[in-house]
Each structure stands twice: as structure tokens, then as C-alpha cells.
């Protein structure tokens, strides 16, 4: 750590860098105790059982209308909040913070996310607090956007995720081309700890908040649907994950039974021999949590993730928010991923956004957001 420059130290100190945890992780890396092989689950992993997935009722059906009415009651009562993942490293959109990238008619990802929430708050008469998880690379710009967007019915606040340092595969500190440490945001698994440490989680719960919906800022399909809130309420679980159909051969996060318990499992954690096509669904990384369930810390695993930085091998230590499902009761709702009903329209880079724009426009128009 003596090679860390002063500017990097200030960033580390301001964003919750835990030197003790970091040193422990790279010591484990050196001993071979944390790597791609140890990332894999050792227990029995099976496809979900019949009845594990609840289909979201058809749009405008009677059953869907009943769910919408129940969800709107919770929103009107001030029981629903929203967490949006807006951290990361601001690299995939040419150095522009993704949340601020234009999507449609001058409106950014974050603009459209907040427009959805503001419309719902106004329509229900409820108050929907929004919590934006930023990173050291995105915090300043998103804080300015949040300040401009906040209102009485939709108060918007930001809180930082953690920061860490990349290492070489042998555990030594990774240095960039200028000889400086390479900082990064260590994954969306920071959400529970960062939200709790900010004091915002206790404020939400103390103010009568019960349910917290989380989604990625780049998934505009994940609007705050009262039917999803009610589906979570009816499940009786502490956590609900939205899943969508996936194409054969795709390897990614998915619902699975781990030693009999229903969980969300990232692709790299499945046993090497696992048949990924046995699970025809993928996690959309959109969750509803019982807020009370997040108030107790859970020891999420740290995973060693191999990266290339400027073409040079590096290792990042990351955590996954989906692993909360290992510690709490979890339910799964199967949502559409096609057409204007889609709840999974991620745009990870400009090319994907260009491809999805027509569907995004149709979807937001149908839902009254545009």
C-alpha cells in the first residue's frame, strides 16, 4: 500500500475502502484460496422445481389489475422505495456517465427512470424515495442530477458504493501505464452495506418503508410496476427476483435450487459440469426486497474476477447483490422480455442502445412515461 499515491488515497478514504479486507483477499489469492475454481458452488445445484416461478399475469388482465390495485395501495401508503444502481466506472459510453447518456429526445437513462417514478407518485398520491448508488467515478455528476430532480413526493438521494484496488494474478498491486494504482468499483454486491452505512436504509424503514425495488439504471424496462410490488407481497418472501426467458447456450445469472434452497446464482458460480440449458431463464438483476431484511448484515462472498486492463491481466475482488438470496427467503417472478411489455431492456453500450431504442420508445409510450 506504500505505493498508493496521495490522490488515490483520498478517493479510497472517501469511499469506504477497507484495507484489512483487501489485504486478506489478496493474501488468499496468493495462497490459491480464492480463484475461478473456488468461485464455484460446492453444494448440489439443480434447476428450479415446478411451481418455483410465478408468471406475471398478462398485461391488462383481471388478475393483473388486482395486483396493480394492491401495489398502488402500498405505494400510496409510503411503503415503497426505489434503489437504482448508477455506479460503475463510466467507461462503456465513451467516458460519459451512463446514467446521463441520452436515450430518447434529450432524456437520459436517469431522467426516464425518475420520470416513471414521478408519474406513479403523482398518480397514487404516494411518496416514493429514490436512492441512487453511485461510485467514485460517477458520484459528482449523478449528485447534480439528483439535486435537480428531487421533489416532495420523489426525494432523490445518492450514496456511494465502495472502492477497491486491482491486483496482479500473483496478488501484487496492479499499476496502470502511469505507474499508479488501478481503482475500481467492486460490484453491485455493495448495495446492502452501502445503503445501510449511509443511514438511508434506517431512515426508510423508520419512516414506514417496507419494500425496496432495485434495478440497473440502464434497464428502462424495469419500471416501478405496482403489480410486481404486490407479487412480492403475496409471496411472503423477503426477496423477489425478476427472471426472463433466455436463449439456449447463454450462461449468466439464473434461479436455481442450491442444496434445496431457491437462490439467484451467477453464471460463473455454477459447477463446471452444470447444464446451463436446463434453466431456460435468466436473472434480470431487478429485485424487490423487504427493507427490514437488509438491515441485518449478511456476509456476501468475495469473488476473484479476472480482467484485462489495457490488455494486461488483472484481478478484481467483487460481490454480488443476488447472493442475498442465499441468506433470505426468495421468490421468482417470470416477466416478459419482448415487445412493449418487456421488463428487460438493458443497454450496456451505445450499440445495444441503438438497437433497442424503437422498443424502448414503444414501451415507455405504452406505459405513459413518454
Return the number of other C-beta atoms located less than 10 Å from residue 361's C-beta. Answer: 16
Angle between helices 62-76 and 109-124 (to 10 degrees): 90
Q: What is the pLDDT of residue 79?
A: 98
> What's the average model confidence in pLDDT over 24-53?
95
How many percent of the chain have pLDDT more than 90? 91
Q: Which three cell numbers stand for residue 307?
A: 480482467
In the block, cell 432495485 appears at 214
C-beta separation of 310 from 232 below 8 A: no
Q: What is the pLDDT of residue 352?
A: 95
Angle between helices 62-76 and 226-235 (to 10 degrees): 90
Quote the pTM value. Answer: 0.95
Q: Could you read off the pLDDT of 309-321 as tens digits, one per residue?
A: 989 999 999 999 9
Q: Where are the alpha helices (DSSP H) in 219-290?
A: 226-235
Q: Name the residue ranges covered by the structural domains of the chain.
A: 6-366
Q: Tell me the fold of 6-366.
A: Spore Coat Polysaccharide Biosynthesis Protein SpsA; Chain A (3.90.550)
CA atoms within 13 A on the CB side of 50: 0
Amino acid at each position: 500500500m506504500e505505493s498508493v499515491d496521495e490522490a488515490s488515497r483520498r478517493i479510497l478514504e472517501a469511499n469506504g475502502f477497507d484495507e484489512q479486507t483487501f489485504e486478506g483477499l489478496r493474501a488468499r489469492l496468493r495462497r490459491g484460496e480464492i480463484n475461478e475454481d473456488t468461485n464455484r458452488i460446492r453444494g448440489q445445484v439443480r434447476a428450479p422445481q415446478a411451481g418455483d416461478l410465478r408468471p406475471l399475469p398478462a398485461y391488462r388482465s383481471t388478475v393483473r389489475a388486482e395486483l396493480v390495485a394492491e401495489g398502488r395501495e402500498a405505494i400510496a401508503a409510503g411503503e415503497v422505495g426505489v434503489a437504482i444502481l448508477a455506479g460503475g466506472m463510466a467507461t462503456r459510453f465513451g467516458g460519459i456517465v451512463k446514467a446521463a447518456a441520452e436515450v430518447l429526445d434529450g432524456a437520459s437513462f436517469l431522467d426516464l427512470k425518475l420520470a416513471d417514478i414521478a408519474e406513479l407518485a403523482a398518480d397514487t398520491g404516494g411518496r416514493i424515495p429514490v436512492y441512487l448508488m453511485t461510485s467514485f467515478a460517477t458520484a459528482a455528476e449523478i449528485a447534480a442530477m439528483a439535486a435537480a430532480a428531487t421533489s416532495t413526493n420523489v426525494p432523490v438521494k445518492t450514496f456511494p458504493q465502495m472502492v477497491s484496488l486491482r491486483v496482479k494474478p500473483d496478488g501484487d498491486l496492479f499499476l496502470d501505464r502511469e505507474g499508479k494504482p488501478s481503482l475500481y468499483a467492486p460490484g453491485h454486491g455493495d448495495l446492502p452495506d452501502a445503503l445501510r452505512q449511509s443511514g438511508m436504509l434506517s431512515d426508510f424503514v423508520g419512516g414506514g418503508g417496507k419494500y425496496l425495488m432495485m434495478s440497473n439504471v440502464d434497464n428502462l424496462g424495469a419500471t416501478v410496476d405496482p403489480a410486481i410490488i404486490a407479487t412480492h407481497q403475496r409471496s411472503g418472501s423477503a426477496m423477489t427476483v425478476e427472471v426472463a426467458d433466455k436463449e439456449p447456450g447463454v450462461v449468466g445469472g439464473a434461479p436455481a435450487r442450491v442444496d434445496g434452497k431457491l437462490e439467484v446464482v451467477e453464471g460463473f458460480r455454477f459447477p463446471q459440469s452444470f447444464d446451463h440449458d436446463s434453466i431456460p431463464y435468466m436473472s434480470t438483476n431487478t429485485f424487490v426486497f423487504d427493507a427490514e431484511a437488509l438491515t441485518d448484515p449478511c456476509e456476501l462472498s468475495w469473488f476473484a474476477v479476472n480482467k484485462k486492463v489495457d490488455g494486461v491481466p488483472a484481478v478484481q475482488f467483487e460481490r454480488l447483490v443476488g447472493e442475498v438470496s442465499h441468506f433470505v427467503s426468495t421468490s421468482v417472478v417470470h416477466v416478459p422480455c419482448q415487445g412493449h411489455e418487456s421488463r428487460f431492456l438493458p443497454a450496456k453500450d451505445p450499440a445495444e442502445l441503438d438497437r433497442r431504442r424503437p422498443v424502448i420508445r414503444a414501451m415507455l409510450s405504452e406505459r405513459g412515461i413518454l
